[in-house]
Structure 1
Amino acid sequence: MDSKSTSDAREKLLETTEDLIYRNGIQATGMDFLVKESGVSRKTIYKYFGTKDELVAEVLRRRDERWMNWFMTSVERAETPEARLLEIFSVLKGWFLAEGFRGCAFINTAGETGDPQDPVRLVAKEHKEKLLEFVRTICQEYGAPDPDALARRFLVLIDGAITVAHVLGDSSSADDALEVARTLLGK
């Protein structure tokens, strides 16, 4: 197999795995199903990734990079720090209304792993830490007296809105979170 075929097979495997896990979860996405859907042999899968957890962790790392880039770029379109803090919830609502929205891939997969040191859980933790840091930076720019505390509260609002939108199928959770955010900012 030449290097282009090898990279194509790896890419196809990663894309297929991400799609299946986001739609069905880790446990419901068995290796036989991955082989069938991706067209990549089990031997090739284990060549690239020693375990299913390593495959899922790589899928989540790639998703984290794409999702954070999209989210940060979208939020940063707002002109002031206050507007960016509030824009978070407009951006989320747009995501909630998008076809194929199934909640936060990181919350979903972390919920399937019991061990805090599981590679999948660690990637989910890293994602939430990056999200918290992004929000903390905006809170500092906003001039919050305690940007760390405000950022943690915003993270709770963000993840709460995502979870409610997913579990209840209610995109208005973004509107509710926005109202709480306004209260936190004294608006």
Structure 2
Amino acid sequence: MATSTVDPETAARIVETADALFYTRGIQTVGMDEIRSTAGVSLKKLYAAFPGKEQLIAAVLAGRHDFWEQGIRAAVDAADGPRAQLLAVYDFLESWFGDDTFRGCGFINAFGELGATSPAIAEIAREHKDSFQRFVAGITALAVPDPARAEELAAQLALLAEGAQTTAAIAGTTEAAVHARRAAAVLIDAATR
């Protein structure tokens, strides 16, 4: 994260700039000099805030994690009851997929580019996915009294959401969320019978 020598506003601008560039064009194709010039900061300030590209990528992914958690939480909190809350995950996905800037999951993208060469980035991506799995498991535990069935359902629902993200990024449509939601409803209903 940013050091105390760089004000939080400047650090945030650097992260926002890097996020937009990485998400649009890919992490490896964007250099620190381009981030510096696009953010309008000196190279000295950029490296004072983020001593290396990996630290900047980690900050970008932290922001993506917060975006994801806030979006999912808002959708789930607006739904009434565990079944509706589980399905609200897919409603959030449909909305996100419809955004003109949607280019897939930033964590999957980062893992695809750097997972084999950066253990730190691979771990950040894994933790993000584990966090989502735990979140879904918390809701399925409310919907399905049998812990083993709840755990299996959570894994299935998370897998549907992950697959929908990848499919939507490639297809460029929101249909993957609609299909995933319908499949999720079938799985939820079968598990709660």
Structure 1 length normalisation: TM-score?
0.91
Give the Cα separation in 1 of the matches to 2:118 and 2:30.
Answer: 21
Match of 1:49 in 2: 50
* Superposition deviation, residue 7 in structure 1: 2.5
* Superposition deviation, residue 185 in structure 1: 1.8
Match of 1:165 in 2: 168
* Superposition deviation, residue 8 in structure 1: 2.4
Structure 1 residues 1-187: aligned runs within 5 Å: 6-115=7-116, 118-145=119-146, 146-186=149-189
Give the Cα separation in 1 of the matches to 2:187 and 2:145.
Answer: 10
The answer to whether the 8 A contact 1:144-1:150 is kept is no
Q: Secondary structure at the match of 2:189?
A: coil
Q: Secondary structure at the match of 1:133?
A: helix
Query: Structure 1 residues 18-27 or 119-128, which shifts more?
Result: 119-128
Identity value in percent: 34
Structure 2 length normalisation: TM-score?
0.88
Give the Cα separation in 1 of the matches to 2:7 and 2:57.
Answer: 19
* Superposition deviation, residue 6 in structure 1: 2.6
Q: Deviations over 1:70-103 (max 9, x none)?
A: 2111122110101111121111111111221111
Q: Tell me which amino acid in the other structure corresponds to 1:91.
A: F
| Number of residue-to-residue matches in the alignment | 185
Q: Deviations over 1:47-88 (max 9, x none)?
A: 222210111111111221222112111122110101111121
The answer to whether the 8 A contact 1:26-1:112 is kept is yes
Give the Cα separation in 2 of the matches to 1:141 and 1:45.
Answer: 46
* Superposition deviation, residue 117 in structure 1: 5.5
Query: Structure 1 residues 150-159 or 107-116, which shifts more?
Result: 107-116
Q: Secondary structure at the match of 1:185?
A: helix
Give the Cα separation in 2 of the matches to 1:120 and 1:114.
Answer: 6
Query: Structure 1 residues 76-85 or 4-13, which shifts more?
Result: 4-13
Consecutive unaligned residues in structure 2, runs of 5 or more = none
